[in-house]
Amino acid sequence: MDLRTGMVWMVRGTGVALALALAACATPAPVSARLAENTQAQVSATAASAADAKFGQFIRDFRATAIAAGIRPDIYDRSMAGIRRNASVERANTSQPEFVKPVWSYLDSAVSDDRVSMGLQMEATYPGMLSNLETRYGVSKDILVAIWGMESNYGQQMGGYNMFEALATLAYDGPRQDFARRELLAALKMEQEEGLTPSQMTSSWAGAFGHTQFEPSSFASHAVDGDGDGKRDLWHSPADALASSAVLLSNAGWTKGAPCYAEVSLPPGFAYELADGDTAKTVSDWKALGVRRTNGTNFPANAGNGAIYLPAGARGPAFMAFDNFRTVLKYNNAASYALAVCYLAHRLRGGAPIMASWPRDEQPLTSDQRTQFQTDLQTLGYDIGTIDGVLGRKTRNVLRQYQKAHGLPADGFPTVEMLGRLNADVKSR
Ligand code: CA
């Protein structure tokens, strides 16, 4: 269900903040400047109306695609009536954040005390529904409630966009066209088959909707009627939404009763290149390498294989992510998201906060610094792929190679200090 694999940046939730640049004019501009502005404004207006005309053409052209996919013409026409390119959807679709929020700041808000206590309130409000879901689908109520909290703050933030306008805007132009065209067809199908009306169908800017922010295509594959009223209504029925999430996780391979993760401590001299979040070993193999559970207890017997995940590099907490952690990634393919869900579930069960401390003194890299990071590695002869300012898996694995070659802990975690070192290496060539 992922749109973009990132540390923290996610499109499925509704909590995506848009930085709106507001132009403030304090003093009147001179006449010549105003004339230039007017001309500029006219050019922009012409460009905008040409784009609007092309958008209108796209909507007319897509009609045939929809009908070929089994959508009734009247369903298509009423869904597309009056929709326009949505400027805030376009901004969200193309914006590159100046700073990527550090994982500790993300967890501070994603798993705040308020979110924990409201989750406990939800468990107290819906005990029968949640225990039925546990019995029926084998997914723990804490995980389901945690997903509910993460996705919509327990139904409080489900997204207020017109789903068709949001998806048509993404389908028309930009980096998510294929995804959005598929989702737009799924949304039309959902409307047709469920007997919905377009005005009921609100979503996030990326088309995710309801209490657990399903995408329309996930609705088709996994949604169920959790409260038995004969309808699958993820907007109004928490039982339907949470049952559908349980089905999704169950279909993705959730193991009943098995843990998601454990906080671990790594021994001195640990080979950090093993802690790439992908290298899976049995718990006893990790123990042989000196990895211990931070709280001093044994690992659960049914833990299965684990991979070591260092969300903030060697200076921060370490986690062993088990198979169920990877199942949560099927919901949203960002490791920080899976950690937040699993950590929130752990707190709902009465678990203690993360024990190790975060390197809160680390300054996040700016957009320019992230690009420089990749440029430096490329200059130093590493295959970095596309330089895009996104320090994802590829960049981190390359950084591990660099760190290993220079006798540094190979945690693949980009810092300002590491950038300084790369800059110095480039200069001394
Ligand atoms: Ca229902």
Q: What is the Å distance from ligand 1's center to 424 Cα?
A: 61
Q: For residue 41, is it within any domain?
A: no
pLDDT of residue 23: 28
Domain check: are 176 and 210 in the same one? yes
Q: For residue 303, is it within any domain?
A: yes
Domain check: are 104 and 207 in the same one? yes
Q: What is the Å distance from ligand 1's center to 4 Cα?
A: 31
pLDDT tens per residue, range 129-161: 999 999 999 999 999 999 999 999 999 999 999
Q: What is the Å distance from ligand 1's center to 175 Cα?
A: 35
pTM exceeds 0.85: yes
Q: What is the Å distance from ligand 1's center to 209 Cα?
A: 15
State how many domains the chain has: 3
Q: What is the Å distance from ligand 1's center to 195 Cα?
A: 13
Indicate the Cα dihedral angle 332, 333, 338, 339, nearest 10°. Answer: -140
Alpha-carbon span 35 to 41, nearest angstrom: 10
The count of residues in the chain is 429
Q: What is the Å distance from ligand 1's center to 237 Cα?
A: 6
Domain check: are 404 and 268 in the same one? no
Alpha-carbon span 172 to 179, nearest angstrom: 11
Q: For residue 219, is it within any domain?
A: yes
Domain check: are 111 and 226 in the same one? yes
Alpha-carbon span 343 to 413, nearest angstrom: 21
Average pLDDT over residues 181-208: 97
Q: What is the Å distance from ligand 1's center to 247 Cα?
A: 14
Longest dimension (CA), the chain: 78
Q: What is the Å distance from ligand 1's center to 223 Cα?
A: 10
Alpha-carbon span 298 to 283, nearest angstrom: 10
The CB density around residue 22, as the number of other CB atoms within 10 Å, is 5
pLDDT tens per residue, range 87-131: 999 999 988 778 788 999 999 999 999 999 999 999 999 999 999
Domain check: are 170 and 196 in the same one? yes
Q: Note every long-range contact of 108-116, with CB atoms under 8 Å and residues 24 or more positions apart, other chains counting.
A: 110/150, 110/340, 110/344, 111/340, 111/343, 111/344, 111/347, 115/149, 115/153, 115/344, 116/344, 116/347, 116/348
Q: What is the Å distance from ligand 1's center to 53 Cα?
A: 40
Environment of ion ligand 1 (residues, CB < 5 A): 225, 227, 229, 231, 237, 240
> H or E element: which one contains 342?
helix 335-348
Q: For residue 155, is it within any domain?
A: yes
Domain check: are 146 and 228 in the same one? yes
Domain check: are 315 and 196 in the same one? no
Domain check: are 110 and 232 in the same one? yes
The residue segments making up the domain with residue 413 are 367-427
Q: What is the Å distance from ligand 1's center to 151 Cα?
A: 19
Domain check: are 421 and 297 in the same one? no
The CB density around residue 177, as the number of other CB atoms within 10 Å, is 13
Domain check: are 295 and 165 in the same one? no
Domain boundary among 317, 348, 379: 348
Give me 220's structure tokens.
Answer: 């088709």
Q: For residue 85, is it within any domain?
A: no
Domain boundary among 251, 276, 304: 251
pLDDT tens per residue, range 271-315: 999 999 999 999 999 999 999 999 999 999 898 899 999 999 999
Q: Are 232 and 194 in contact (CB under 8 A)?
A: yes
Domain check: are 238 and 312 in the same one? no
Q: Which regions of 123-236 does DSSP assign to beta strands (E)? A: 161-162, 202-203
Domain check: are 101 and 242 in the same one? yes
Q: For residue 20, is it within any domain?
A: no
